[in-house]
Amino acid sequence: MSVTPKLNSDRPMVLVTVTGVDSPGITSAMTEILATGNVVIHDIGQAVIHDLLSLSILFELGHGADDKAVIKDLLFKATEMGLKLDFRVFDSKSESQKERLRSKGYRYALTLISDKVTAKALHAVTGVVAKFGLNIDTIERLSDAEFSCVEMIVSKEQALERSELKKELLTIARETGVDVALQAEGLYRRAKRMVVLDMDSTLIQSEVIDEFARERGVYKEVAEITESAMRGNLPFDESLKKRVSKLVGLTTAEIDAVYKRIELTPGAEELIRVLKKLGYKTAIISGGFSVIAERFRERLGIDYAYANQLEMEKGIATGRVIPPIVNAERKADLLDVIAQNERIHLDQVIAIGDGANDLLMLERAGLGIAFNAKPLVREKADFSINQKNLKSILYLLGISGRDLTDLA
């Protein structure tokens, strides 16, 4: 939470803004004049977009400083460097001006992700931001080559009621095809330390139990039960037992065949690679099966994998699952256990899933992401993403395309 800057005196405040083509030494030249004038700087901000600079400095003139001399020297230097300088002088004692100087108390990060972030989407989001009385402090493109990710830092003096805002952002996402994430901006957003993923239809592009059923020739019956369970229409434990009962006779050779044809979700390998380089702990917590989850854990170098265990006798499935069943409650509890084991605060955990049995896990984590999820899950999760690529999760951590290039 930000605080109001303290004014050292009742002297006038000056806000100067320098714009023009960027080059080395501009900020140094401006601050040299301010140092000579013995001013007190209260705020500074600078941005460069395609070689065009915008530098703003808010300062209070020092006792004995010649107001006109400082401003005149700044104007002369800017002109000498081929830049434009605008300035405003106002009374620091004015209540209205003090209000304008006050930093907003609550800050939030809005992240827009798509194959191409359109002007229509930007207009819709900024319109909603204004409607809810939020101020846009900064806007930055995070993607590298394409205009596919934009991050806005917005602020408000009072805490935001996020549920109504989230509904409007979901509507924008449906209408424009641009996903919009809203997070509290602060230390925990920038200090995430663990990412937990569901496996089926999240880390991988298949539902493993459906693939096992395909091997046994009972795909249609099992797929219908799977779909009902993922939509929340059938208790998970009941649906799992029903589906596994149809897998009697499944062999280890058939399990191997299923593993070989499973494809990872695009971006999964890069996501895990980057997270490992940055020191994150990673985990698979799945309502699928350990015979597949363990293989992906080893293949990708993931730290933990928890999933259901098929009961096998002499290499053949009995049609039963070994308790405890990894259902919605156990998923959330396992996330808790891993975080405690690693001494990681839950606010520093990201959970990613697509089904109704992931909801408790998504709620337990500091940030829950519904990835290409069912409607029920999209509505209840912190954030829904439909971009088909897990690499986009990195943008929610504030990691830019340039950062990813540096990590390559």
DSSP classification of residue 349: E
Q: Which of 200, 210, 354, 382 is catalytic?
A: 200
Query: What stretches of 66-218 adopt beta strand conformation (E)?
Result: 84-90, 106-113, 135-141, 149-156, 179-184, 194-197
Query: CA-to-CA distance for 84 and 75, rounded, in angstroms?
Result: 8
**Per the residue annotation, which of 22, 179, 198, 382 is the catalytic one?**
198
Residue 167, amino acid: K
Backbone dihedral region for residue 394 (phi beyond 0: left; psi -120 to 50: alpha; all else: beta): alpha
**Residue 72, H or E segment:** helix 67-80
In angstroms, the CA 85 to CA 406 distance is 35
Give the span between the Cα atoms of 30 and 79, in whole angstroms.
Answer: 12
289 membership: H or E segment, kind and range: strand 281-289
Query: CB neighbours of 107 closer than 8 A, spacing ≥ 6?
Result: 2, 137, 153, 154, 155, 184, 185, 186
Residue 406 annotated to the active site? no
Residues 130 and 74: their CA atoms lie apart, in Å, by 34
Instruction: Check residue 279 and give left, alpha or beta (phi > 0: left; psi -120 to 50: alpha).
Output: left
> How far is it, in rounded angstroms, from Cα 240 to Cα 202?
18
Residue 198 is a catalytic residue: yes
Residues marked as catalytic: 198, 200
